[in-house]
Amino acid sequence: MPEQFDRKLPAIFAIGTTALLVLHHWYAGTEGRVFFFVLFLVPMVGGLAIGGLIYPPILFALGPRGRDLPRSTKALSALFSLGGLCFGLYLARFVYKM
């Protein structure tokens, strides 16, 4: 029986990563310091979470639960993750002027 994926975990990840980015933006604005972990890794997870909201297996495709998923789903998962990385690079270049 194939594994069932729902949108609950991607929704939790999307809300969590958005909240973390908002808190980081507030911290960077008040203290003037930027954490690279939050700036580059968190948007990648956020991109996967947004992909999981659209099609739930995208969130799990790059991990061990996605072992039996097709390569097209894994490719979409990698694209959503790279989209999140591009968003982090955009934040670093244009928002935080790094």
Number of H helices, E strands in the chain: 5, 0
Domain that includes residue 78, residue range: 8-95
pLDDT of residue 5: 87
Q: Tell me the mean pLDDT in the region 1-26.
A: 92
Buried b (16+ CB within 10 A) or exposed e, 46-77: bbbbbbbeebbbbbbbbeeebeebeeebbebb
Average pLDDT over residues 16-44: 94
For position 1, what pLDDT does the model report?
Answer: 56
pLDDT single digits (tens) 49-84: 999 999 999 999 999 988 999 999 999 999 999 999
| The pLDDT value given to residue 78 | 97
With respect to residue 20, please indicate whether it lies within any of the assigned structural domains: yes
Q: Which of 82, 40, 60 is nearest to 17 (CA)?
A: 40
Token digits of residue 72: 């097209």
Number of domains observed in the structure of the chain: 1
In a domain, 3, yes or no: no
Does any domain span residue 62? yes
Looking at the domain assignment, is residue 1 inside a domain?
no
User: For the whole model, what pTM was predicted?
Assistant: 0.90
pLDDT at 97 over 90: no
User: Is 59 a member of any domain?
Assistant: yes
- Could you tell me if residue 86 is inside a domain? yes
